[in-house]
Amino acid sequence: MTTLTRQDLNFGQVVADILCEFLEVAIHLILYVREVYPSGIFQKRKKYSVPVQMSCHPELNQYIQDTLHCVKPLIEKNDAEKVVVVIMDKEHHPVERFVFEISQPTLLSISSDTLLSHVEQLLRAFILKISVCDAVLNNNPPGCSFTVLVHTRDAATRNMEKVQVIKDFPWIVADEQEVHMQEPRLIPLKTMTSDIVKMQLYVEERAHKT
């Protein structure tokens, strides 16, 4: 058993990599399940030894990758509190918010082997839960779009504004109307606890969608 601290950046990078990979798969799956884009652009691929749906559209994929590329340094430093995938209707009012609450323990104690296969199993459970979430959610109105918000701790955003992680991909402070939803209903989906990260996924849904 090795004990690592947050300063051990190598390990922080590993965790950030795992989480960003997972978030990419999760975002694609949310877009598929909630029918934000037509299912024709999605293709079955394999991740964590199970089939998942990923989009083939290059611009969409690039957008998601760029987004997560910028989020990664925040996760590394444990500055990201929540990553939220917001689905908005035509008037840009949020209809659904998939909230991934992430927290990492400051002092990590890991054992070498079992860690990653266990984490894989947990992430697989998340993927499965997202696949069946339409049982608990109402249908979205047509013509929805999506965006990704990141809630950070402290003043991490100030650093983000100074340093543009990806050129021509700026992050701006979100509008009030995107952040807050009218009459939200909270539906918890899944929780996971592991040595390296604790994650919770819940959905905030607007009571009246159409």
Contacting residues toward another protein, per CB under 8 A: 32-33, 39, 44, 49-53, 121, 124-125, 127-129, 131-136
Residue 111 or 121: the one with the smaller Cβ distance to another protein is 121
Residue 130 or 150: the one with the smaller Cβ distance to another protein is 130
Residue 4 or 115: the one with the smaller Cβ distance to another protein is 115
CB of 47 to another protein, least distance (A): 10
- C-alpha 144/C-alpha 96 separation (Å) is 10
| φ and ψ at residue 11, rounded to 5 degrees | -70, -40
- Quick one: which of 66, 65, 103 has its CA closest to 83? 103
CB of 167 to another protein, least distance (A): 31
Asked if 157 and 101 touch (Cβ cutoff 8 Å), the reply is: no
β-strand 2-5 against 107-110: which pairing, if any? antiparallel
CB of 189 to another protein, least distance (A): 9
Report in angstroms the alpha-carbon separations of 189 from 72, 79, 87, 129, 133: 24, 23, 17, 7, 8
Residue 124 or 209: the one with the smaller Cβ distance to another protein is 124
Residue 71 or 98: the one with the smaller Cβ distance to another protein is 98
CB of 33 to another protein, least distance (A): 7
- C-alpha 73/C-alpha 126 separation (Å) is 23
CB of 18 to another protein, least distance (A): 19
